[in-house]
Structure 1
C-alpha cells in the first residue's frame, strides 16, 4: 500500500503497534494488553489437511456483517474462547463508530502456523461517513482451526486507528452552509470529549469558509474526519512513529495516501487546547484547506512544494481573521526590517517541527502565498497549486499565472515583504 502522506500545522499562533501475529491483542484504558498464545511448531508429523479457504472467507464476511449490523452475538461466534474478552472489547469500540462501510478481504492464501492454527493476511476497508474517504488497513490474523476457524488475534501491520488504542466517542456535525452541507465526523479518545465538542461546534462554520474559498468541484463534497487521540504519545503511534519529538508543537496533521483524498485530520489535544479561539479556528481552517485541495486534486501526479501547500492553507485560514501581518509573519518581517530578505523559497526540511526555525518557514510560506494572492487573488493562488499538483513545474505554473518564473517571483516576494514592513 502506498505510504501515508503527512502535512502538519506547527503552532505559530499562541509505529505502528509492535504486535506479534501469535499474540492475542487488546487494549484496556489505552494500554496494550497481551495474552500469549503458544503455537506448536510445525513438524513432519503434524496434520497436513487442506486449509479450508472458503471457511476463512465466510468468517471474514460474518465479522464484517457483525460490525455493520451491530450484532455482538455474531461477532462473538467468530472468536476463539481464549480471545473472547479482548475481542469483545474490540467490538465494543467498533460499534461506537457506526461505519457506513466495513469489509474484510483475504489477501493471498492462508499459511499454517502449527497443527491447529493458521495465519492469514487481511485487508480492512472502511468508510466512516457517506461520501467520506475509503480507508484501507492491512492486518494479520491468527485463527484457531479446532472446530472450524475462529479468531485468536487481528493485529494491524501498519499504522493503527485510534480505536485500536483506546475507547472512543463519536460526534457528528451536519449543518447547512451557504455552499452546501457541512459534514464533520469527530472520533476522539473517550477522555477527550471536551475537545470533540469544541471541534463539532467549530467545524461547520470553518467548512463554510473553506468551501467559499476553494470553489472547485470536489471541494464541497469532502466530508471531514477529525481524530483526537488521548495524548501526544498516541498521536505518534497513529503516525507510525516511536518518537514523538516535535509533535508537542504540532496542533494538527492531515494524513492520507499521496494524490488521494485525505483520510483524516489528527488533532493534538494538548497543543490544540492551549490555543485561543482564533488560534483554534486558524488551525482547523488550515487543515480543512488541505482536505479540500486534496479532494480537488485527487489523482494528481506531482507533490506540491511544502511552502506552496502550507502557504495556501495559511493564506485562506488567516484571511478569515482580523490578524495583521505582524502577528502572522513576524519572523520573516523582522528579518526584512534588518535588510535580510529571502533569496529562495523555503525547502520542505525547513518546516520540520524538530528543526531550528519552523516558525520562520511558515511565515515565509504565508508571505509568499500572500504575494500571489495580492496580485491574482485566492483563485490565482489555488490555480498555481492545482497546476503544480497536476504535473506542471513550479516555474511554468508561476509563469502561466503571474507572467514570471521562479526567479521573478522571488523578486516579487521581496517587494511584497517590503510593503508589509511598511504597512503591516
Structure 2
C-alpha cells in the first residue's frame, strides 16, 4: 500500500511538472494571466485617449486610429475584455468598448470591438489593430479623421467634410432645437449630436446595414444605449425609462445634398424631434405616431400645405384610393417601395396634423406621451385615444380618412 501511495504521489508531481507551462498547480492558467495583462493594456490605452496623450497611446501599440479620434471630446472611454484567443505570441481579443461624449451623452454608447495583439521583444502585449466586432457597426473614426464643429446647441462630427459644410449642419441643428422645444416642451436635453460621414456607404457603415437600405433617406436617428438594439434606426428602439440615451442623428450626405434649404431644415428638425421624444417612445408607440409627429414638428411653421407636403398620398386620394387604415409599422421599412414608404410617412403626418387641428397641439403632445406610458403595443393607442382624445381607433380612422379626402381630394 505504501508503495502504491508513493507511486501515486510521484505521478501527481510529474503531472504538475508536465503542465506547469500551462497551469500552475492550484494557480492561474497562462490564458488567465494573458487576459489580465491584456486588460491592463487596454486600460492604459483608454486612459491615453481620455488624457489626449498620444505618446502614451503609441506605447500600447498601433497609433493609427489615434489621429482619427483625437478631436472627439470624450468624457469616458473604457474597454472590457470579454474573450481572448491566444496562439503563441499573437492573440485576438473581443472587447466591449463603452464611451461617452462630453456634455451630450448621459448614457454610454456600448459597442463590440475585435483587437489583434502580439508580444514585443520585451514579452509584453501590444495592440496591432482595433476594428468593429463581427456584426457590429462602425464608429465614425473607423472611417477616417473626425472633424468637430460645436454649435450653440449641437455637436457635429464629420469625416471627409469641409468645415464650412459642418458649420452648415450645426446652424440647422441649432435652429431645430428651439423649434422642437416650442412644440414638444423642454423636458429633454435640448442639444443634439450629428454625424456626417463622407458618403452613403459611410452612413450604412455607421448603421451596420447595406447601403441600398438607405438610398434616398436623408437622415436617421439612432439611440445607442447599447448594441442590443442591433443598429436599428427606428426611433422606437430607445427605451421609455426617462433616461436620455446617447442619441445620434446620422446624415446621408448624398441624399441630404439634393435637398433645398427648407427641406434640409425640415429633415434636421424631424430627426431632432426623435431625440426629444425618445424617453416617451417605446414598443407601445406605433411608427405612424412617432414618424408622423416628427414630421408634424418638422413642417410646423413652414406654411407647407397638405398637398405640398404629401404629394404621394394626394395622388392616391385624388385617384380614389383612400387608405383603409393608418400606416402599419411594416410600411415604414427602408426597403419598402419608395411610393409606399412616402405614403406611410405622409399618412402618419396627416394623422398628427388632424389631431393638432381638431383637438389642439397640446392634446397631440399629451396623446404621444400617454401612448408611451404603456409597455406594450396592445391597448396602448386605444387607451390613450380614450383618455386624451375621447375617441376610439375606429372612429379616429374614419375621421382621418375624411380628413384626407377634404385636404387632398
Q: TM-score, normalised by structure 2?
A: 0.81
1:64 aligns with 2:46: yes
Equivalent residues in 2 for 1:177-216, closer than 5 Å: 183-216=153-186
RMSD, matched Cα: 2.2
Choose the corresponding residue for 2:249, options 265, 276, 281: 265
Asked if structure 1 preserves the Cα contact closer than 8 Å seen for 2:109 and 2:246, the reply is no
1:72 positional shift: 0.7
Equivalent residues in 2 for 1:315-354, closer than 5 Å: 315-354=296-335
Q: How many residues align?
A: 356
1:225 aligns with 2:208: no
Structure 1 runs (4+) deviating above 4 angstroms are: 44-47
Structure 1, unmatched stretches of 5+, are: 1-43, 80-86, 175-182
Q: Per the alignment, do residues 383 and 69 of structure 1 end up closer, same or farther by CA in structure 2, a change over 3 Å counting?
A: same
Instruction: State the match for 1:285 in structure 2.
Output: 269
1:293 positional shift: 0.3
Instruction: State the match for 1:420 in structure 2.
Output: 407
Instruction: State the match for 1:122 in structure 2.
Output: 95
1:318 positional shift: 0.3
Asked if structure 2 preserves the Cα contact closer than 8 Å seen for 1:143 and 1:149, the reply is yes
Q: Per the alignment, do residues 112 and 251 of structure 1 end up closer, same or farther by CA in structure 2, a change over 3 Å counting?
A: closer
1:129 positional shift: 2.7
Choose the corresponding residue for 1:149, options 102, 121, 125: 125
Of the two, which has the highest radius of gyration?
Answer: 2
Instruction: State the match for 1:236 in structure 2.
Output: 204
Q: Per the alignment, do residues 331 and 167 of structure 1 end up closer, same or farther by CA in structure 2, a change over 3 Å counting?
A: same
1:399 positional shift: 1.7
Q: Per the alignment, do residues 338 and 142 of structure 1 end up closer, same or farther by CA in structure 2, a change over 3 Å counting?
A: closer
- Give me the whole-angstrom Cα distance separating, in 1, the residues matched to 2:91 and 2:334: 43
Choose the corresponding residue for 1:167, options 136, 145, 149: 145
- Give me the whole-angstrom Cα distance separating, in 2, the residues matched to 1:361 and 1:248: 17
1:333 positional shift: 2.8
Instruction: State the match for 2:79 in structure 1.
Output: 104
Secondary structure, aligned partner of 1:274: coil
1:62 positional shift: 1.0
1:377 positional shift: 2.3
1:234 positional shift: 1.4
Asked if structure 2 preserves the Cα contact closer than 8 Å seen for 1:262 and 1:291, the reply is no
- Between structures 1 and 2, the one with greater strand share: 1
